Amino acid sequence: MQTQELPCVLMRAGTSRGPFFLREWLPEDEEERDKVLVGAIGASDLLALDGIGGSSSLTNKVAIVSRSTQPDCDVDYLFVQVGVAERSVDTRPNCGNMLSGVAPFAIEQGLVPARTGETTVRVYNVNTRSRIEVTVLTPGGRVQYEGDTVIDGVPGAAAPIRLNFLDAWGAVTGSLFPTGQRIDLIDGLAVTCIDAAMPLVMLRAADLGLSGRETPAELDANTALLERIERVRRLAGERMGLGDVSNSVVPKPVIVSEGDDADSITSRYFTPRRCHTAHAVTGAIGVATAFSLPGTVASGQALRPGVRTVSVLHPQGRIGVEVCVEGAGLDARIQRAALIRSARKILQGQLTVPAYAMA
């Protein structure tokens, strides 16, 4: 194999970063495509010195975008999680942070015409077979990245990007609560297995002897805790119908505890073997869903129908999730969930993938 060059746009999207590709820029064969992505990220090395990734899963993410095959959507978005210091590729999860860069990228690549003022792009997430409406500012028919919106965990400010999740509940497993229970007992712990934008296994901090306010560094240093969480995660994956998840990043573990008020909950989200320095968007949707419904390990005290904003408190601050609940009690259903992110184009050009990565 020879060194390859291909177009690439590197973006910061939400609290993640990674290359964005049109599907046509990459090899059609999935095995060859995955080799290119591993080489592009530089995943064979912990520091990704020979690629554009990094030493965190948050910087080893890829978005592949194309015109949609769905009649009611504009573009298809395939998310790819590339390994850290390992040549692994996982297309099972979605990433809501990277999703925030899909609409700007699609507009600038000519897949969707920009409207004057703002443009809404309906995105079909291929990984989870779900639809999301993404609205970006397009004054004068051009994507605007500059603005005053501040996101906890991201330096500076940028233009707001609104993500409106339309049908993320049960998209991966076919059921919001795929085990058939709102609380299961796994390895002696009460857990909630939920499929809401991302398959999650949720645990109470107190049951693990934690306050829930620990820093990511403190949690990552607790090897016994990480081993137990991973054991629970693998068992939960089997019960959720996901099979052997030892080589997959889903389901993601989440440790929850009380928030600051009746409309907030504290969360520590794992990716899955390290604690996220902030929080995943899809994870925030799942946490807000479990908080808004009765009978879960994360259920809030003031459950009510209607629209409310749930604050998911994380190590860098908070994510506000606007949740629309219809019905009450065990009949309550989440109709939609929305939140604000931002994105920034870092560079656009030709990416060189070394020959050894293709071997």
What string of DSSP letters covers 249-304? --SEEEEEEE-SSTTEEEEEEBSSSSB-SS--HHHHHHHHHHHHSTTSTT--SS--
Burial (CB count <10 Å: 0-12, 13-18, 19+), residue 116 = exposed
Name the region of 85 (left: φ>0; alpha: ψ -120 to 50; beta: rest). Answer: left
152-176 residue pLDDT tens? 999 999 999 999 999 889 989 999 9
Cβ–Cβ under 8 Å, residues 322 and 338: yes
Mean pLDDT calculated for residue range 11-37: 96
What domains are there in the chain, each with its CATH number? 4-160+343-358 (3.10.310.10), 184-339 (3.10.310.10)
- What φ, ψ does residue 263 adopt, rounded to 5°? -110, 25
Q: Kindly tell me if the per-residue pLDDT of 1 is higher than 70.
A: no
Cβ–Cβ under 8 Å, residues 350 and 5: yes
Q: Kindly tell me if the per-residue pLDDT of 359 is higher than 80.
A: no
Helix, strand, coil percentages in the chain from 3-state DSSP, rounded to 5: 20, 35, 40
Q: Kindly tell me if the per-residue pLDDT of 71 is higher than 70.
A: yes
Cβ–Cβ under 8 Å, residues 96 and 282: yes
Report the percent of the chain where pLDDT is more than 90. 87
Cβ–Cβ under 8 Å, residues 222 and 230: no
Q: Are strands 16-22 and 61-67 parallel, antiparallel or unpaired?
A: parallel
* pLDDT computed for residue 45 by the predictor: 86
* pLDDT computed for residue 125 by the predictor: 95
Q: What are the residues facing 162 on neighbouring strands?
A: 135, 340
**C-alpha pair distances (Å), 75 with each of 63, 65, 154, 335, 348:** 12, 7, 26, 22, 20
* pLDDT computed for residue 25 by the predictor: 98
Look up residue 263 and give its two tokens: 């409309």
Q: DSSP readout, 293-347?
A: STTSTT--SS--SEEEEEEEEETTEEEEEEEEEES-GGG-EEEEEEEEE-EEEEE
- The region of weakest confidence among 96-110, 247-261, 297-311 is 297-311
58 DSSP 8-state letter: G
* pLDDT computed for residue 2 by the predictor: 81
Cα 119 from chain centre: 22
C-alpha–C-alpha distance, residues 44 and 40, integer Å: 10
Q: Kindly tell me if the per-residue pLDDT of 355 is higher than 80.
A: yes
Amino acid at 191: V
C-alpha–C-alpha distance, residues 64 and 91, integer Å: 11
What beta strand segments (E) does the chain contain? 4-13, 16-22, 61-67, 75-82, 89-90, 117-125, 130-138, 161-165, 184-186, 189-195, 199-204, 252-258, 264-269, 306-314, 317-326, 333-341, 343-353
Cβ–Cβ under 8 Å, residues 68 and 74: yes
* pLDDT computed for residue 44 by the predictor: 84
92-129 residue pLDDT tens? 888 999 999 999 999 999 999 999 999 999 999 999 99
Report the percent of the chain where pLDDT is more than 70. 100
What confidence tier does 39 reach under pLDDT thresholds 50, 70, 90?
A: very high
C-alpha–C-alpha distance, residues 299 and 310, integer Å: 12
Q: Kindly tell me if the per-residue pLDDT of 139 is higher than 90.
A: yes
How much is the mean pLDDT over the chain?
Answer: 95
* pLDDT computed for residue 288 by the predictor: 97
